[in-house]
Structure 1
């Protein structure tokens, strides 16, 4: 079946807008912090150090802090030291042997070797090399504050970034929880759109649900990456170690939610041909009603993941929905509709596992067939 391009584009655009606003909501305050830190670093370099153009002070602060709330001190320190090391070596090379193609090779080699000696962090080495290249590549007129002016500017920016990271410690669960809410709400939205299409017999709604489900994949990928990074941080950070169990559960929830969305897409794709007008009619109202119940329980699950509360309400609603998923009761004479019920059973098992039910107990809730 060929879908109207405008309808598919609209659904994809809506999904992209939702994902974009989700990223903005999660990142606007860390971005504000980094912007203010950059301005403070510039002011310190200009007013206290007397440098006319302390360019590398805000550069160092911005690079070290970044634009997310995930700011472990080790990473901030790595980036700060890397920037300062690269700028310092670049200044030294420029003032001793000048600029040119072979000087770039010298400063890259020296900065990487020294960075690897100082610490194992890859970001430190990368930033040292990049900043050294920038310094060697800039004309001498770009320097301010004497031979080591750009180096001291980089030190100021790194110091400001470290101060911000220390004074505003971040909870590694915050962004992971926010991503969990967005991902599971996307799943619930797909199920609601599917249920509306099944209830009204509108293929266009089912098509929208399928397009939305496909467009949501970047959300689940980002959630898994964020959760994995936060879990790894909790393994080594004393401050975050107490959250390790929840972060591990959020990683598992990301994997299961991705699987649940894939099951929802299969369910939607399988339902679409049954709505085409033809000689065979299918009664999809019962299936649509169970999808509505699963969508409502999924919304409750999103709230629980976002707040860290035990998903008792979501679990109870999912169990109630699962107990009704008997294909021979919902569609006793229609094997094609029965196949939709079987797909819902897989979906509900995934959601129950996200809600903390063991795989075996989740399967046992389903009616035997």
Structure 2
């Protein structure tokens, strides 16, 4: 039922866009067989958000190239197998050699096949198919923008808040598992850590989609710099996720050994989780407010450094290898997290908190 609800809106959007594209091409343009209008709309809607402008351009050029080559070849050689072979050779070959995307190659080939096998030209070139592709792409773009017309950054903010909340909750649950020396719970956290990459990927996709939306709106283009900052943050967040995964893996080993957990370790993990939450609040408030993003970033900085300072105390008692690995991952996570919120001189300050001083 949940999947059905999630798929209802995309299905209605796709059906509506394809129908509107057909009606425009058939009744406004007057094309008697506007097949490429709804098909182009469906292909564009099938592309992930954030890539539809590029996808539309590729579809238009793909259809135009395929149709033009096919009509010229059929006019010269007539319909048949020979024309089919020549059309595919002249469309797929040069595009593949030029490094064109699979979408562009596929659209070009299908367009050429359709002209040769179904709608061979009757002695003159017909530009309708090119116009149909343009109409379908434009309708699809318009349909996708209606859903975020009033608040184009809301999906991005929601994704950012969920991503950072999931990271913080995972660290909190990991802290509980370590504190109670609960190996099954630590394994459950490790399994969840595998899925964190999907959250970061969704955040990156939403950033691309928000950038696409803002580029279509002149008055909101000043927000593009903020969206680009989010895109850069997702790269650092990828490192954070990898660090937390390694941290969880070592936590499983620590609980399997049934070693007593030092109180400072739970305090360090708690401070690290707080730093993650503050980093998420900084990102969200920077996009839409309310709140002071610099204040949240400063709090993330303070919490992350505190986590490192607390973890550094554990090194004084010659910790076990799994515990040493966890301490190292706390340090690395703090570095990548603070880089993601744009803090300066991160490495030296984190190393200083750990007690490392350069010679």
Contact 1:191–1:291 under 8 Å retained in 2: yes
1:231 is displaced (CA, Å) by 7.8
| Alignment CA distance shift 1:274-1:334 (3 Å) | farther
Number of residue pairs the alignment of both structures matches: 340
Structure 1, unpaired ranges of 5+:
1-17
Are residue 295 (structure 1) and residue 277 (structure 2) matched? no
Aligned partners of 1:110, 1:348: CA distance in 2, in Å? 54
Aligned partners of 1:71, 1:264: CA distance in 2, in Å? 30
Alignment counterpart, residue 155 of structure 1, candidates 131, 134, 145: 131
| Alignment CA distance shift 1:86-1:179 (3 Å) | farther
Alignment counterpart, residue 305 of structure 2, candidates 303, 315, 322: 322
Aligned partners of 1:87, 1:50: CA distance in 2, in Å? 18
Contact 2:74–2:120 under 8 Å retained in 1: no
**TM-score for the superposition, normalised by structure 1:** 0.69
Stretch deviating more after TM superposition (98-107 or 259-268): 98-107
1:155 is displaced (CA, Å) by 1.8
Report the equivalent of 2:248. Answer: 268
Structure 2, unpaired ranges of 5+:
none
| Alignment CA distance shift 1:328-1:241 (3 Å) | closer
Query: After the TM superposition, which residues 39-58 of structure 1 pair with which residues of structure 2 at under 5 Å, given as runs?
Result: 39-47=19-27, 54-58=34-38
Alignment counterpart, residue 17 of structure 2, candidates 37, 48, 52: 37
Aligned partners of 1:230, 1:40: CA distance in 2, in Å? 25
1:203 is displaced (CA, Å) by 0.8
Are residue 132 (structure 1) and residue 108 (structure 2) matched? no
Query: After the TM superposition, which residues 1-369 of structure 1 pair with which residues of structure 2 at under 5 Å, given as runs?
Result: 33-47=13-27, 54-70=34-50, 73=53, 75-90=55-70, 93-94=73-74, 97-111=77-91, 126=105, 129-136=108-115, 138=117, 140=118, 143=119, 152=128, 155-162=131-138, 165=141, 168=145, 180-220=160-200, 242-243=222-223, 245-276=225-256, 281-306=259-284, 308=287, 310=293, 312-313=295-296, 315-324=298-307, 325-327=309-311, 329=313, 333=317, 335-336=319-320, 337=323, 339-358=325-344, 359-360=346-347, 362-363=349-350, 366-368=353-355
Stretch deviating more after TM superposition (51-60 or 199-208): 51-60
Contact 1:190–1:209 under 8 Å retained in 2: yes
**TM-score for the superposition, normalised by structure 2:** 0.71
Contact 1:37–1:164 under 8 Å retained in 2: yes
User: Which secondary structure state, in structure 2, belongs to the residue aligned with residue 366 of structure 1?
Assistant: helix
1:85 is displaced (CA, Å) by 4.0
| Alignment CA distance shift 1:61-1:257 (3 Å) | same
Aligned partners of 1:127, 1:94: CA distance in 2, in Å? 20
| Alignment CA distance shift 1:131-1:148 (3 Å) | farther
Residues 291-328 of structure 1: per-residue CA shift (max 9 Å, x gap): 23322332342343345252532541441352253346
Stretch deviating more after TM superposition (54-63 or 221-230): 221-230
User: Which secondary structure state, in structure 2, belongs to the residue aligned with residue 323 of structure 1?
Assistant: helix
1:202 is displaced (CA, Å) by 0.9
Aligned partners of 1:32, 1:96: CA distance in 2, in Å? 43
Contact 1:93–1:136 under 8 Å retained in 2: no
User: Which secondary structure state, in structure 1, belongs to the residue aligned with residue 261 of structure 2?
Assistant: coil
1:165 is displaced (CA, Å) by 3.7
Contact 1:99–1:136 under 8 Å retained in 2: no
| Alignment CA distance shift 1:31-1:366 (3 Å) | farther
CA RMSD in angstroms comes to: 4.7
Report the equivalent of 1:8. Answer: none
Residues 113-149 of structure 1: per-residue CA shift (max 9 Å, x gap): 9989xx99768952552233431564x3xx4998889
Contact 2:301–2:343 under 8 Å retained in 1: no
